[in-house]
Structure 1
Amino acid sequence: MKLVTFAAAGRRSFGLWTEAGVVDLGARLAGRYRALHELVAAGDLAAARAFADAAPDHAPAAVRLDKPLAAWGKCFCVGVNYPERNAEYRDGSAGPAYPSLFVRFPESLTGPGRPLIRPPESRQLDYEGEVVLVIGRAGRRIPEARWADHVLGYTLGNEGSVRDWIRHGKFNVTPGKNWAASGSLGPWIATADEVGPGPLRVITRVNGVERQNDTTDRMTFPFGRLLAYISTFCTLEPGDLVFTGTPAGSGARLEPPVYLAPGDEVEVEVPGIGILRNSVADEA
C-alpha cells in the first residue's frame, strides 16, 4: 500500500494512492482518525488494508499531495553513512565508529510538488536524497536482526541543508538543517511489504542531471544498526522518522560547489518507492 495525505475539493484528508486514483480513508473511516499520523500511531494498518481493493474516490489529477505525516514525535537524521561521504570531507579522518545523528523539526520539511525555500540569509541551499524509515512499532534496545519488525514502511526525503549555517559552530549541525521548508518528505509511505527487502537504489537529479546514485547495501551503518543504536538511548515510537543518510554527490562537494537556485527542480527517486519532486524558490 501507498499511504498519502492530500487535499481535494477544499478538504484535507488521507488515504491510499493507486494509479487509478486515491481512496479517501479519512472519509471512509468516518472520523476514526483525523490524520494519517494518528492511524500510524495507533498501529492500525488493518483499517487501511480493508479498503485496499476499493474503487478510488478521487482521480490522481484531482488531488494535491502533502507530506505524508504532518506531525511526529522524533525525526532522526544520519550523516556520513555511505563510504565515499567520509572521503568528501578531505580531513584525513578514519571512517566513523558510530552513526552521526541530528534532528529535524516538522516545519523544516515540505511536501511533494512544493518548493524548497532558500532563505535570504544564505545562498548555500543544498540537496540530499535519502531513504526514510517510518517506525510502526515501538521499541527500546531493538536487536539489529529484528529491525524490520519495527518499520511500517518507507518514504523519500530530500534532507535539504543550508551549508554555511551547519558550519557556524564546531559541531553545530541543527541550525543548517531546520530552516522552514528547506527539505521535503514524500510523496507517500510505501508499506514494507510493498517495497520488499532491498537493497534500495537512491538517485538524486537536479534539472534532470544525475548527481547522486548509490544503493543501501553499501551504507556504513545499515538499517538494523541504525535502529539498534538509536533505540539504545531512546524509545522509537510509531510515526517516528529516520533519515538514513545521503550518497556522495551533494552540491557542496562538487568542484566548484553548485548550490540550488530558484527555478531548479530536484528529484529524489528510489525504484520500488517512488519519486519526490520539488522546485526551488526564494523566501518571499
Structure 2
Amino acid sequence: MDHRCDVNGTVLFLDERGPADGPPLLFVHGGPGNSCWDFMSAVGDELAARGIRVLGVDQRGVLRSDSLLEGAELTVNVLIDDFEALRRALGIDEWTILGHSAGGGYALDYALSHPDSVSGLILDCPCLDADATDRFRLPRAAALLQDVGKTSEAEKCVALAASPRRLTGGDRSWEVMQALGDRYLDLFVAGREGRARYERLIGRAPEDLDWAKGVSHLPLLHDMYRDRTPSLSSLSVPSVLLHGEGDLVAAPSVIEAYRAATGGDVVTIPDAGHFSYIEQPRAYVEAVAGFMNAPKRRAA
C-alpha cells in the first residue's frame, strides 16, 4: 500500500507492506539520492510474508516524494528528523531500522540520537567512512580501468588510494571511477549473474519515475566522508552488519571496527556485492528476518 505522508513541511512517499500489527522495519536508502523502489521491489513482499511490517520511504526530495523547496537546507539531521516525525505520525512506538550504503550512516546517526525509538539496527553494506571505502575500492577500479585501456584514469585511482591525507568529497573520487562507463556497475555487483539480476530488476522500473530528482541529495556526499566508526561504541541498541562477500563499500577496516565496538554479529552473504537484496534475495531475507525474530537485549 502506498501512502503520501505530511512530515516536517514536506510530503514523503511511503511504500508499506505486511501486516499492520507486525514488527515494523524502516528501510533507509542511500545514494545519496536513491530510492526505496529497488529494495521494496526486490524483497518487500518476501519480508512481508514473514510477518514483518515493511516501510520503505523515499527521502525528501527523492523520486516519488515532493521535490525540495528552492533554497531549502538538506542535511543528514534533516533526514533524521523526518524519520522520527514519520514514526510518530504512524503511531509506532519503536522500530527496526535498516540502512543500506550511505543510508547505513543515516540509520546509525538516528539510532544514536533516538535510541528509545529503535528496537534494532541493521547496517547493510554501510558506508560509515567513505575514506576507508575509497581506499578499498579504488584499487579494484584501477584494475578495471586498466582492462578497458584507460591507463591515466587507473593511475589517478592508484594515486588517490595512496594519498597520505584523508580523502574528502572534494577529491570527487567517483568521477574518475565513472570513466569505466558501462563497467562501473561491476564495482557494485558480484559477477555476471549478479549484474544480470540487477539489470533485470531495474529494467522493470516504471517509465514515469523521475530518477533525476536524486541529484538534490548531492550535497550529502561530503557527509559520507565523516568517520562514524568511533561512534559505534556509543550504540546501545541491538545490531547486526550484513554485507555481500564481494561488496566494496563496507571496507574490512569498518567491519572490524563494528565488530570490536559492538560485539554484534556480522553476516556475509556469498555471491553478492553491494546489492545483496537483489543479487541473493533469499539469503538476504533469511538474515533480516532472523535478526528481527531473535531475542534482543540492549547494551547496559
Place the TM-score, normalised by the shorter chain, in its bin: under 0.3
Higher strand proportion: 1
Give the TM-score normalised by the residue count of structure 1.
Answer: 0.24
Query: Larger RCO: Structure 1 or Structure 2 (Cα < 8 Å, ≥ 6 residues apart)?
Result: 1
Compare the two structures and name the one with the higher helix fraction.
2
